[in-house]
Amino acid sequence: MEITQVSFIAFFWAFVAGLASFLSPCVLPLLPGYLSYISGVSVADLAHSSRRVALASAAFVGGFVVFFSLQGAALGMAGSGFGDFLGFYTSSVGGGKRILEVIAGILLIIFGVFALGVINPQWFQRERRLRLMRKPAGLIGVVAAGMVFSVGVGPCTGPLLGSIYMLAIGTQNPAAGASLLFVYGLGMGAPFVLSGILFTRMIGAFSIVKRHFGAIKIASGVILILFGLLLATGELSVITNWMRGWLPDIEV
């Protein structure tokens, strides 16, 4: 990945990670409660107030997408400073960037191991549920609630969100980091909005997903480990260059 480019693979993973985060046990099972909370509509009436629920869910998603993007910009800026610092001490062109890639790759592998459940530290096993206390007042309040959600959901989606954080740092560029977290937010937010519009149908579909939480968790862990290995060994850039002819890099 060039400093001012983000590969299609990274954006694709950011969106998939966002979608998988939505399907996590501390978000999907609580979906009716979230929609009721932000819209002011009772759970029993969600299916009959689709317009109001859809508008509220769009505002809620807008709030956490914006805040995720701000986090990505900050991480990209931090990565730039850290990369320059490492490059100064390695005294080689691109040395800092390569060290960052190795560190990020190792952390992704660790996140993948945690996701698989091979190692279960106590702090990682504890159930975490985001609690939003006061009901938001108006759409501005819903947007603010979305921003709070983007902070509170982090511990619950640790490996997935952490992997995008690592990629954002590795870009060493605020715009690139913001773009990755923006796409991650879209991956998590799209099902929220669709659920507001088509509540009954989406809840029916999600009930099937709930029965396969274990498989989703394993698949996420395996992908994280593979992604981390490719990043740490430098093979991700090789694959990206090979795919460049038919999968675009996105300039930011």
Q: What is the pLDDT of residues 153-170, one digit of tens each?
A: 766 676 788 888 888 888
pLDDT confidence band for 251 (50 / 70 / 90): low
Which of 101, 97, 78 has its CA nearest to residue 88? 97
Give the model's pLDDT for residue 131. 55
In degrees and rounded to multiples of 5, residue 251 shows phi and psi of: -75, 135
Q: What is the pLDDT of residues 2-31, one digit of tens each?
A: 434 456 778 888 998 898 888 877 777 778
111/203 Cα distance (integer angstroms): 29
Please report where in the chains the tokens 């996420």 appear, as a residue.
220
DSSP code, position 41: -
Mean pLDDT of 98-118: 77
In this structure, the chain runs to a length of: 252
Please tell me which residue, 100 or 79, carries the higher pLDDT value. Answer: 79
Q: CA 247 → CA 8, 44, 217, distances in Å?
A: 6, 45, 27
Hey, where are the domains in the chain?
13-243
Sign of CA dihedral 27, 33, 35, 38: negative
Is the distance from CB of 71 to CB of 150 less than 8 angstroms?
yes
Q: Tell me the whole-structure pTM to 2 decimals.
A: 0.75
Q: What is the pLDDT of residues 39-91, one digit of tens each?
A: 888 877 877 777 888 888 999 999 999 999 999 999 998 888 776 665 555 55
